[in-house]
Chain A
């Protein structure tokens, strides 16, 4: 086994091994724990950088291990995988820094960071899975490793949320498993290959393939929070802020959306899925989710709940882009995978800062918070404008390509959905911004934990991550057309996917 085939495994191990080590650390060893965490995060980034360089020079990075006869565990560094892996690794680094600051002095930190690392391991595994079985393996590992994070606080409410979360995700996993096994039974090993692997199957398997597609999408849709399978997401808000950030930006929700992208593009193949008439229903489901999520967000006073419903809505942009037949829509969907992650993590970091610094949990408590915490509020505003789709921020790029993609695919009603959703985004974000910037601050904050010191409105570890990700929101939008941006990478993926397609 050459070094190149072990590299994907090393990327997975770079968070798993520190995670295991952290489990065994005594609670008081916070310096060593932070070192291990950051070492893992940087090691992962370095490995990914090397692999990216290798992929550019046409090197193949594939790890294969036979689990059962005819069933392989495959980790592979392809274009789509690298996009998601890079996003996860970068955001993991920021979230780790943030979490170290956020959890300072709270109990059970070894357990928390242990599961946190396993959770990232699972996400990276989901990203690099080279076939449907491997994907399923890490998808379930993700469920198991996030449960302790959701119930971390150990309160009655957290435990109840954990129950709901498990009920949804394990049931979804069971449905996904049936679909996967069925597909393996029909098609043999289901590798992820650009353009899909199923179009050579005889025509009489079409009905079975349609049912399997439904099973797979339902199984993945639970994590991707497709309406009506989204019920767990707003409840899971009880988790600590770093967990919510990770859950919403890269880990759980994104794993579901990423799975849908994989299934459509690399299992069925977008053309074959189009032939089976599977894309239109998927687009419809995504559209319903987009509008419904936004509508529900409008009526939430709890800030994190409002953000959660916003996630329900925003993640389905990815699904929508995937369901639009044509390269431009693909670009919109794939690029939103990254853009949504950066924007949403910014928003959750900021929400965590408000709660942790001033005890603000509700939108109605946010009057004048911009004067007390200008930097956090600025980052929040950039994230919110990005979500609404104000140019030149990241969200605008996504929506632009999605709109063009809808026209290209000949489904103009999608434009109406995008417009309605943007209006709703504005309707639930702008009032927050108005309150924060223009209303008078109250005499006292609900619960001021951290006092401002000179330039620092809150703890440094809490403030820096959202500022960096907010800057990224601005930069990936502003310089979208340059090379090495998410958009550039998404274009590459779309170009490969539609290689055989002549418009």
Chain B
């Protein structure tokens, strides 16, 4: 019987749901321990699933043995498994970080574990979903959990940011749902596999695609739809900021990749791709510039996310309507950027959180003396910065290399200019922080210590971003084995 075979895919969804619910009952202390066990198991499950994909290629799995359209089908391919691995490997160190963080600053800790469990379950489910409607449901679950986490800080700014985030995310998924309705009305199915051969350029389909794309752009906070992101990511407590910036925005990006280069490939046009690319370029330049102008540390990091999201969207012009080689290079570059940013941004928010714990304030000018007192955390921030600047060896560099290759191969030199400028601007804002932290602490103000666990988990994430640059061939091979595109 199929159902008797152990299947890591369904457990990747059930496990976080289970520990999230239990953590809700158990409370913060025991809940955290349970969650960490769950996160560890999740990492093992994701690795096991990756091994299967590497050996057997992509496959589908009907939950409970019920086939579609009545049952829910899970699809595992290279892209999905790479994203699952990313989630598991970022969430585990962040879990350890959060436990130490809420040990030092208990505010919001009680809500963190159940909500982050639901968030991770929603993420995993989204990556494994094989139909448009399931994607909608997981997208909404993800949004609600993320909003709850944002509000967990409890102060006025956080609640306002959470509400703004909620309304934006609801609008985004509403647009997506309208698109789903149009697609179902046209073809009578929402299964990605069934839709693939059917899609043609009818008005209803084009409208659906436009609505879905806009919805996802809003949820991924692509310039100029990024208004909700900086207050939400900058205002949440640090472990939450890290989760949101590293993982949550990747979900809607992933969905867009799936749609654009999957079912909708026949109707996606070069012009629309260029338009998305222009927005991406705007995000890179505008986000970096605003990051440079911030006076609060976490707002700087949040605007850096706005900028880095821009690089993700360069995949669309670089892989639409180009030679197969350029297309593959761009596709790999985009995914590499998603992975690198996940690790680096989680590390950067974590490091920022440790600095804030130590200095007791969120202003950049307050960082003087951090270099002498928290050298490890500053080093972590710098390493994460190396990835964001796209300097070698790092995942960010590998991503930039692949995207540059695609741009040169397809003769789209203007994206090269944008990427180079973006790299220099990101260096400017990263070094703005480093420079301040290098300064000696002014007399009278004392920089405290941060718990060692905060420093080490942040460092592990940053090192992950560097290692990704040295061993980037492995995830790309996995992508390939699972029929990446």
On A, residues with C-beta under 8 Å from B are 23, 65-69, 71, 73, 108, 111, 133, 136-137, 140-141, 144, 147-148, 151, 154, 159, 162-163, 166, 170-171, 173-175, 177-178, 181-182, 184-185
Listed by A's residue number, 19 A-B pairs whose Cβ atoms lie within 8 Å are A23-B379, A65-B470, A67-B393, A67-B469, A68-B401, A68-B473, A108-B372, A111-B371, A111-B375, A137-B392, A148-B438, A151-B435, A154-B438, A159-B435, A170-B423, A170-B424, A170-B427, A171-B424, A181-B408
User: Within the assembled complex, what's the spacing in Å between the Cα atoms of A68 and B333?
Assistant: 11
Contact assessment for A136 and B392 in the assembled complex, using a CB-CB cutoff below 8 Å = yes
Contact assessment for B420 and A174 in the assembled complex, using a CB-CB cutoff below 8 Å = yes
| CB < 8 Å neighbour of B392 from A111, A140, A184 | A140
Residues in chain B near residue A69, CB distance under 8 A: 473, 476-477
User: Within the assembled complex, what's the spacing in Å between the Cα atoms of A140 and B387?
Assistant: 12
Contact assessment for A144 and B473 in the assembled complex, using a CB-CB cutoff below 8 Å = no
User: Within the assembled complex, what's the spacing in Å between the Cα atoms of A136 and B390?
Assistant: 12
Residues in chain A near residue B476, CB distance under 8 A: 68-69
Contact assessment for B470 and A166 in the assembled complex, using a CB-CB cutoff below 8 Å = no
Chain A residue nearest to B431 (CB atoms) is A166
Contact residues of B between 365 and 381, Cβ < 8 Å to A? 371-372, 375, 379
Known: A69-B476, A144-B386, A174-B424. A181 touches B405 (CB 8 A): yes
User: Within the assembled complex, what's the spacing in Å between the Cα atoms of A136 and B392?
Assistant: 8
| CB < 8 Å neighbour of B408 from A136, A140, A182 | A182
Contact residues of B between 390 and 413, Cβ < 8 Å to A? 391-393, 398, 400-402, 404-405, 408-409
Contact residues of B between 433 and 485, Cβ < 8 Å to A? 435, 438-440, 469-473, 476-477
Residues in chain B near residue A68, CB distance under 8 A: 398, 401-402, 472-473, 476
Known: A151-B435, A151-B438, A162-B435. A185 touches B408 (CB 8 A): yes
Residues in chain A near residue B473, CB distance under 8 A: 66-69
User: Within the assembled complex, what's the spacing in Å between the Cα atoms of A315 and B382?
Assistant: 31
Known: A140-B392, A144-B386. A178 touches B472 (CB 8 A): no
User: Within the assembled complex, what's the spacing in Å between the Cα atoms of A173 and B435?
Assistant: 20
Residues in chain A near residue B469, CB distance under 8 A: 67
The reply to whether the CB of B63 lies closer than 8 angstroms to some CB of chain A is no
User: Within the assembled complex, what's the spacing in Å between the Cα atoms of A163 and B432?
Assistant: 10
The reply to whether the CB of B416 lies closer than 8 angstroms to some CB of chain A is yes
Chain B residue nearest to A159 (CB atoms) is B435
On B, residues with C-beta under 8 Å from A are 371-372, 375, 379, 382, 386, 389, 391-393, 398, 400-402, 404-405, 408-409, 416, 420, 423-424, 427, 431, 435, 438-440, 469-473, 476-477
Contact assessment for A178 and B420 in the assembled complex, using a CB-CB cutoff below 8 Å = yes
CB distance from A341 to the nearest CB of B (A): 26
Contact assessment for A154 and B439 in the assembled complex, using a CB-CB cutoff below 8 Å = yes
Contact assessment for B438 and A178 in the assembled complex, using a CB-CB cutoff below 8 Å = no
Contact assessment for B435 and A67 in the assembled complex, using a CB-CB cutoff below 8 Å = no
User: Within the assembled complex, what's the spacing in Å between the Cα atoms of A111 and B389?
Assistant: 23
Residues in chain B near residue A151, CB distance under 8 A: 435, 438
User: Within the assembled complex, what's the spacing in Å between the Cα atoms of A185 and B413?
Assistant: 13
Residues in chain B near residue A133, CB distance under 8 A: 392
User: Within the assembled complex, what's the spacing in Å between the Cα atoms of A177 and B469?
Assistant: 16
User: Within the assembled complex, what's the spacing in Å between the Cα atoms of A306 and B337?
Assistant: 45
Residues in chain B near residue A65, CB distance under 8 A: 470
Residues in chain B near residue A163, CB distance under 8 A: 431, 435
User: Within the assembled complex, what's the spacing in Å between the Cα atoms of A171 and B422?
Assistant: 11
User: Within the assembled complex, what's the spacing in Å between the Cα atoms of A162 and B435?
Assistant: 9
User: Within the assembled complex, what's the spacing in Å between the Cα atoms of A163 and B435?
Assistant: 9
CB distance from B484 to the nearest CB of A (A): 12
Given A71-B401, A154-B440, A174-B424, 13 more pairs with CB closer than 8 A? A23-B375, A67-B393, A68-B398, A68-B473, A68-B476, A69-B473, A144-B382, A144-B386, A154-B438, A163-B431, A166-B427, A177-B404, A181-B408
Contact assessment for B393 and A137 in the assembled complex, using a CB-CB cutoff below 8 Å = yes
Contact assessment for B405 and A185 in the assembled complex, using a CB-CB cutoff below 8 Å = yes
CB distance from A161 to the nearest CB of B (A): 12
Residues in chain A near residue B431, CB distance under 8 A: 147, 163, 166
Residues in chain B near residue A166, CB distance under 8 A: 427, 431
User: Within the assembled complex, what's the spacing in Å between the Cα atoms of A475 and B435?
Assistant: 44
Chain A residue nearest to B371 (CB atoms) is A111
Chain B residue nearest to A185 (CB atoms) is B408
CB distance from A146 to the nearest CB of B (A): 13
User: Within the assembled complex, what's the spacing in Å between the Cα atoms of A82 and B212?
Assistant: 58
User: Within the assembled complex, what's the spacing in Å between the Cα atoms of A133 and B472?
Assistant: 15
Contact assessment for A178 and B401 in the assembled complex, using a CB-CB cutoff below 8 Å = no
Contact assessment for A185 and B409 in the assembled complex, using a CB-CB cutoff below 8 Å = yes
User: Within the assembled complex, what's the spacing in Å between the Cα atoms of A159 and B404?
Assistant: 32
Q: For B391, B423, B469, which residue has the most chain A Cβ atoms within 10 angstroms?
A: B391
User: Within the assembled complex, what's the spacing in Å between the Cα atoms of A154 and B400?
Assistant: 32
User: Within the assembled complex, what's the spacing in Å between the Cα atoms of A181 and B397?
Assistant: 12
User: Within the assembled complex, what's the spacing in Å between the Cα atoms of A69 and B476?
Assistant: 8
